[in-house]
Structure 1
């Protein structure tokens, strides 16, 4: 999910939704969806989102509950879906898989013991984005006329480059890696209550007297999703080392450090695999009735569980002037 140590370096401030009105946000879809998925599973009875054949689609509840925030504040979301997992991320993926397997074992024990609180907590921690979850999410977004883009690799990288090229106003992700991928402005906390956070790349670089390339070097020294950091090197030490020696290679030479595949990791952040995003219409025309039928009839989600979410979408469309959406 990105190097959380970067938060201590990042220039982040709360921003009101009023200041964001009219903006277009490239949303890291897997990041956004996973947060709503885990929250839904943790706090909602599974019979609400489980079909008669046993398929779980808690994601549909999460999408209907999460999308109104964009519409209500006149934000246009563009959802960017991950592509292939980057080879250099294999160790991180394996680590997450092993952790999920541990939670699954604990979940089995909690169920046997009848510990409902532990079961709810562990069910949320064992969630993964299945093909069904991704496909049904995409179908629902399309019915609501929300643009969807497929990244060739990391979704946050695609979102960051779109922001850098001016195709959108902001990248939207909880992942601090958006800084390393060069997103000028990134919105965080889009899945939380209250106002979002704005993460500013230029302000971050100015605050620490670094270039973008040097910030990436600091991150590699501290550790990223693609490499282990140097033992004993945290953000402050990393900045000091780069200031003293100039760049990652000079730090390696002077300090005797080594990071396997450092050149490839550096290039991955500075020139990530992305696609030329197609043009998309920001004047959305959602088919709310079709979306509601898709969720409640086709996928058998409890109608009461998503009723308020769809109502909020309808109300926001009227408030923002799209009262001819029906």
Structure 2
């Protein structure tokens, strides 16, 4: 979910091809959740194989990742490690939302309300350890690197951007800016027409990018001050100040300089704000990773997707060919840049 900084940010519509030849870190949990939410059957049920195992995440990871690579992007997925203890409140809130959706689904089934059934099913997404393990296995077969973060995946992905190991981060969350990502790319794996289930309509979703340096300059603040703004609004790690949105928080920081002075002047009570600030500015990350792209193991991909999970061979085979071509181009461009 992350922090809502949208009202104060400059965002630019773009085309994926504009980021051709860029290596990008991808917040894996964030994207897998998007795949599970968006890649559904008409009745709201996720894609499944003949054994009843969910495959929406594998479909998104395989087809949409290769589509990105055809545009010249080189994705490095970053997986969550152990969540921060400060995130327990957010995790409990998410659990409560899912439980409420499950109760609403039961009611809809009892009344045979098909539209509500589909809507509730789309809201109920569970990312399991098996899904994460399957995702890593598929990436390995595809010849793509992935990184296991010690803590928050978006934190590690952002660190890789801030240190120049990758060019940008693909994520839906604005938190990546707080963690120092130089550029955040949104809607890069889920774009085009998207269904708004609560209203039964479709809206156009365009890829967009957010430049951290441009936004800090525009607001005349530092990243530390942006973090203070987020803390007042509320993050995954704290509840924020009641009735203080991003515009109000920005005005307060521009006027008083930092959160300590805002608290002193306004009397706000923000428990553990120093710890939240430190979490964003001094995150737990690792340098033990590489972004080397290998060769796809064609028969293992086919066996994993088609034999084990019932993907259609006629569709998988052409995408394997596309993957091989994309990796050859990627490795050649890396070799050319070396010389």
Whether the TM-score (by the shorter chain) exceeds 0.5 is yes
Cross-structure match for 1:296: 306
**RCO greater where, 1 or 2, for CA within 8 Å and sep 6 or more?**
1
In 2, Cα distance between equivalents of 1:204 and 1:19: 20
Q: 1:295 to 1:21 in 2, by over 3 A?
A: same
The number of residue pairs the alignment matches comes to: 318
Would you say the 8 A contact 2:79–2:146 is kept in 1? yes
Would you say the 8 A contact 2:65–2:189 is kept in 1? no
Cross-structure match for 2:21: 22
Q: After superposition, what is the alpha-carbon deviation per residue over 1:248-281, rounded to whole angstroms, capped at 9, x for unaligned?
A: 1111111111201100000001111111142221
Cross-structure match for 1:314: 321
Cross-structure match for 2:96: 98
> SS in structure 2 opposite 1:67?
helix
Q: 1:116 to 1:311 in 2, by over 3 A?
A: farther
Q: 1:98 to 1:45 in 2, by over 3 A?
A: closer
Cross-structure match for 2:143: 145
In 2, Cα distance between equivalents of 1:123 and 1:51: 19
Would you say the 8 A contact 1:51–1:301 is kept in 2? yes
Structure 1 residue 156: deviation in Å? 0.6
Q: Does 1:285 align with 2:292?
A: no
Would you say the 8 A contact 1:160–1:183 is kept in 2? yes
Q: 1:115 to 1:170 in 2, by over 3 A?
A: same
Q: After superposition, what is the alpha-carbon deviation per residue over 1:121-172, rounded to whole angstroms, capped at 9, x for unaligned?
A: 2222111101111111111111001111111111111000000000001111
> SS in structure 2 opposite 1:152?
coil
1:220-239 to structure 2, matched below 5 A, reads 220-239=231-250
Q: Does 1:261 align with 2:272?
A: yes
Would you say the 8 A contact 2:43–2:117 is kept in 1? no
Q: 1:321 to 1:143 in 2, by over 3 A?
A: closer
Would you say the 8 A contact 1:49–1:61 is kept in 2? no
In 2, Cα distance between equivalents of 1:32 and 1:105: 26
In 2, Cα distance between equivalents of 1:294 and 1:97: 31
In 2, Cα distance between equivalents of 1:319 and 1:138: 19
Cross-structure match for 1:173: 171
1:1-326 to structure 2, matched below 5 A, reads 1-4=1-4, 6-43=5-42, 49-52=48-51, 54-194=52-192, 196-282=207-293, 284-298=294-308, 300-303=309-312, 307-308=314-315, 310-315=317-322, 317-318=324-325, 321=328
Would you say the 8 A contact 1:12–1:197 is kept in 2? yes
Moved more, 156-165 or 241-250: 241-250
Structure 1 residue 81: deviation in Å? 0.3
Q: After superposition, what is the alpha-carbon deviation per residue over 1:47-90, rounded to whole angstroms, capped at 9, x for unaligned?
A: 951343x4333322222232122221111110000111111111
Q: 1:277 to 1:201 in 2, by over 3 A?
A: farther
Q: 1:291 to 1:20 in 2, by over 3 A?
A: same
In 1, Cα distance between equivalents of 2:315 and 2:226: 43
Structure 1 residue 322: deviation in Å? 5.2
Structure 2 unaligned residues grouped into runs of 5+: 193-205, 332-339
Structure 1 residue 97: deviation in Å? 0.3
Q: 1:209 to 1:313 in 2, by over 3 A?
A: farther
> SS in structure 2 opposite 1:114?
coil
Structure 1 unaligned residues grouped into runs of 5+: none
